[in-house]
Each structure stands twice: as structure tokens, then as C-alpha cells.
Structure 1
Amino acid sequence: AQIPIAIVPAGTGNALALQYNLLSVRDAADKILRGHPTPLDVLHVTQQHSTTCCINIAGWGAATDINITAEKLRCLGRSRYSVAALLQILNPPVRSASITLDDRSIDGPFLFAVACNTRFAGHRMLLAPDAHCDDGLLDVLLLRPTSRWNLLKVFHGIADGSHRNLPGIEYLQGRSITIRTSSPDPLNLDGEISGTTPITATVLPAALRLLT
């Protein structure tokens, strides 16, 4: 039988902890003592020369660029993510990719593609409002090239999830996503820069059990 694991919100964003409303060490301790095992999906990530797993997100494009820039701005504390996003809005790089979501092919220019297992990413960004960690599905956000004004609204809307209905955003669901690019692009796996495209991320349903 699987041994259940517990989480303690001690990171920067605490995306998985937020998913289960674990806002403090006291909340986490309560779940460790009195919680019930809950199925937790995991993303199995295959890259050209390696495989790994992650729990929150697998991101490409601006989702990676912002993280790289934010790492250079650690002196700004948590506000570094907002500053990094603003810099991205001022000069948004457009990339071409071939994306396959299950049996659906989606090609063209994008600003980002993010496969989410959790609702939250980064520092309290409600990136995928409909995401559940136990449904066997990825919630996938694609952002097409758009105006700087609309891009500002998208990044502002991520704070409360209102971005999903804005122009340029495609919100999809599937069990497996593949991203191919003409040259290797860096990837964001659970907030860490890890590997490059091409990438395939596939849901492993109920791979873990979490005390909630």
C-alpha cells in the first residue's frame, strides 16, 4: 500500500499547499495528525535525454522566461515575480511550437503554454481555476500573441482566475501534452528551470496519496 505523504507550506509559492487550503505550519500539522489520504495525480515528464516527475506545472515560453528573470531579481523578494511579468509584457517574445494535446494538434505562434495539475502556480497565481489534483487531467493554458494592453489584463487576471476568458487565451484539458520547438527552449517544472523542449507531460492518476 502507498504510504501517504504530507506537505508543509515552507516554500515561496506553496502552490500544492494552497490547493488544499494549507496556509500555515499549524494547518499542515493538523492534517498530519488528523488528515485522510487523498489521491494525488503526478505529471510524468519525458525530455530528450531524461525523465522526471512534477506535481504542479510544466511550463514553456513566458512561463519559463518570467521565472528566469525573477531569479535574477531575488533582491526584490516576492515582488520579483510581478516585476518579471511586467518586463515580459513590455517585450513579449513570440515563439513557434507544435503542440499535441491527446489526439489534437495545435500549431502556431505562442507566448506561453502551461500544463497544470494544481490551480495555483508561482506566488498565489490562480493560473488554472478548474484544475483538480485527482481527476486524471491536465488543465492546459495556451496564450497566443496579443496586444500589450490585453497581455497586461491577462497577467492581472491570473491573480483571481479571470484571465481564462480573455482574448488570446485557450483553456483546454487532456491527459498528455507534447511540445516541440525548432530549437531547444528551457522549461519550467514546478518553478524550477529544468531541461529543454521537446517535452511530453503525461498524467499518472493517483500516483501518490496526500494527507488532507
Structure 2
Amino acid sequence: MATEHEGSPAVGHRAVVIVNPTNVDLPRLRTAVAQAQEQHGWLPTVWLETTIDDAGQRAAVRALKHDPTVVIVAGGDGTIRAVTEGLHSSGTPIAVVPAGTGNLLARNLGLMRDIETAVRTAFTGATRAIDVGLVSLEHDDGSTTSHAFLVMTGVGLDARMATDTSSALKRRIGWLAYVDPISRSVLGNQRFLMHYGVDGRREQSIRAHTVIVGNCGTLTGGMVLLPDARADDGLLDVVLFRPTGFWQWLRVATRLGVGGILHRSRNGRAVLRATPDLRVLPYVRARTLTARFDPPQSIQIDGDGFGRVVAVTVTLRPRAIGIQVPSA
């Protein structure tokens, strides 16, 4: 149950913790926060929990009423995304305590997973401003919604992998959990028609299995999907998956696997930049992407499903949210 401390003096530093209780070792987190609060002389910490009805957006709005120095978010990428929707215009930084199955934002920013290090970073770290992606959805029932994202949004096979695969299975066997949806897509050649335009240029049409728009580029296991993506470069990185058979899928898998290894060194990254793109795996960098789909497609945003869409518009707010990182 959420706990809020009312009536404290409105001076000094204060942390607000927004926690997803399903994924977090709450007693350990409370101990780490209490120790850091006492050590640094901060005001009593405010504790809020996400619920089935509130993934974090409303908790973020409530957090701002306490004039926090930092909002500590303990949860996975979906919880962080939801809190960001309520905070990215406020100027209040976020500190991440990674506690989900993917934790892709933490991986891309080099944030540690252990609770004590994450809490220490919240109280003593430096603030790094990163971009916030904004995606407007036109659903197949005619409704429209808008959402923020920090990692990636994907349409097609990527969305089916994210939403149709059991979270428990992903925790137990990792990427092997995706073998079934990938196999069905490869064997069934489940492509869709996409009409898209970038930065206001003339619209193009293409058939693809999936399209992924990223603010970050590295996936679980160190696989680099978007090698040029940087969380603070003011650009969206887009990749289209267009394989038409087993051997083309194998080339894509090989490129991504080898790319993950090469991306770890400066010389390796130079080799990647010099390697021609695969025709079945084209990349685009832009500030705005618009796309229409035939037939309607499933979409995921930072790992959470948001139904089926007929059209999307993806834009970016450069350096719109601060993330606490270890101080140099």
C-alpha cells in the first residue's frame, strides 16, 4: 500500500520512490533508501506504489506535489516509461532501480542492477539528460492515444514477441522464449504493407515483418539492434525487417549476433560502420516517422502491448528527462 508523508517542511532534499511491488525486493529497497536518506541528511522519503489501474503516470503526478529532488523508479522498462510520461516536462530527474525482465534502459545507460548501487546513484549521482520519444497511435477501432518511450517501439513481429511471450518463460529461459513466435513468422512469411515517411519527405511503401523505432540500440544479451542509436543524440533510429525466407533470416541473425560482438570495441565499431547494410535490414535515422499499416498491426512500447494500430506518428523531445548516473 502506498505511503505518503504529509506536513514535512518544504526545504532541503527529498526523494520520492515509485515502486512496482510485483518485481522488487521491497524490504531491501526500503533499507537501502533509509540508510542513504540518513547518511545524506535528506527529508523523509515519500513512497508510492504502482497498481493495476496506474502503471506509474498518476503516481508521477502525485510525486511532483512533494517537490522531489529525485524520483526513484523501482521497476522494469514499462514502469519507467509510465513515470516518464508524468515527469518529462517537470525538470525532475529519475533514478532507476532495475527490476524487470528486460531492463533495457538500464543496460543501455550502463546502470547497475543491484539495489544498493542504484540507490547510491540516486542520492549522489550526476544527472544525464536523455531524449524522450513520443508516439501517437491511431487504433483499428478509430480511437487515438499518445505515449512516451525511452527505449524502443515496435510494430509487427517485434510487438507479437513482446506481448505474446510469457514473462515467466522469458525469466526462465531468456531469448529461447522467442523461438516459437519467430519460427511461426519465418515459416508463415507474415509480412505487412507499410506506407511511411521520414521528416516530411515523400511517402514510400514497403513490405516488412516488423519495424522498430529506437531511442536506444542494445537488446538483452548484448545484441546490438540499432548500432548508431544514442539516448541523447536527438535522433530516432529506425530498422525494417524484410527477410523473405530462412536464409535471409539467417543472414539477419548473423549480422545482429556478430554486430553485438564488434560493437564492444572501437575497432569493431569501425568495421560495422564500413560494412554495407543488408538489403533486407535497412536503417533510417530521422526526427519524425509517420507510418500506415495494411492490415492493422500490433504495437509494443518499451515492452508493453498497446493493441492494434492502423497508423503511427513518432517524434522526439531532445534531452527531455534527466536520469541519475554514477558520478565521475
Q: Which residue of 2 aligns with 1:198?
A: 311
1:115 equivalent to 2:228? Answer no
String of CA shifts for 1:39-93, please: whole Å, max 9, x gaps: 1111111112111111111111121122234238837642312443344333331
More strand by share: 1
1:95 equivalent to 2:174? Answer no
More displaced 10-residue stretch of structure 1: 122-131 or 94-103: 122-131
Aligned residues: 212
More displaced 10-residue stretch of structure 1: 140-149 or 27-36: 27-36
In structure 1, what residue type is equivalent to 2:302?
A: D
In structure 1, what residue type is equivalent to 2:151?
A: N
Residues 186, 245 of structure 2: 8 Å contact kept: no
Distance 1:12 1:209, change over 3 A: same
* Separation in structure 2 between the aligned mates of residue 185 and residue 152 of structure 1, nearest angstrom: 24
* Separation in structure 2 between the aligned mates of residue 175 and residue 194 of structure 1, nearest angstrom: 22
Residue of 98, 103, 120 corresponding to 1:9: 98
Shift of 1:146: 3.1
Paired residues for 1:138-177 under 5 Å: 138-161=236-259, 165-177=277-289
In structure 1, what residue type is equivalent to 2:92?
A: I
1:209 equivalent to 2:304? Answer no
Residues 89, 151 of structure 1: 8 Å contact kept: yes
Distance 1:155 1:188, change over 3 A: farther
Q: Which residue of 2 aligns with 1:20?
A: 109
Residues 294, 310 of structure 2: 8 Å contact kept: no
String of CA shifts for 1:12-34, please: whole Å, max 9, x gaps: 11110011112422442342233
Paired residues for 1:7-156 under 5 Å: 7-25=96-114, 26-48=116-138, 49-71=144-166, 74=169, 77-78=173-174, 79-104=176-201, 105-121=203-219, 124-156=222-254
* Separation in structure 2 between the aligned mates of residue 99 and residue 3 of structure 1, nearest angstrom: 35
Residue of 300, 314, 320 corresponding to 1:188: 300
* Separation in structure 1 between the aligned mates of residue 117 and residue 179 of structure 2, nearest angstrom: 28
Which 4+ stretches in 1 moved above 4 angstroms? Answer: none
Quick check: which has more Rg, 1 or 2? 2
* Separation in structure 2 between the aligned mates of residue 159 and residue 84 of structure 1, nearest angstrom: 19
* Separation in structure 2 between the aligned mates of residue 72 and residue 205 of structure 1, nearest angstrom: 32
How does the TM-score come out when normalised to structure 1? Answer: 0.87
Residues 192, 295 of structure 2: 8 Å contact kept: no
How does the TM-score come out when normalised to structure 2? Answer: 0.59
In structure 1, what residue type is equivalent to 2:255?
A: G
Shift of 1:169: 0.9
Gaps of 5+ in 2: 1-89, 139-143, 261-271
In structure 2, what residue type is equivalent to 1:6?
A: A
3-state secondary structure, aligned to 1:8 = strand
3-state secondary structure, aligned to 1:120 = coil
More displaced 10-residue stretch of structure 1: 141-150 or 151-160: 151-160
Shift of 1:177: 0.9
Gaps of 5+ in 1: none
Shift of 1:207: 1.4
Distance 1:155 1:107, change over 3 A: same
* Separation in structure 1 between the aligned mates of residue 117 and residue 257 of structure 2, nearest angstrom: 23
Residues 101, 167 of structure 2: 8 Å contact kept: no
* Separation in structure 2 between the aligned mates of residue 12 and residue 123 of structure 1, nearest angstrom: 12
More helix by share: 2
- What percentage of residue pairs aligned between the two structures are identical? 27
Distance 1:153 1:12, change over 3 A: farther
In structure 1, what residue type is equivalent to 2:154?
A: G
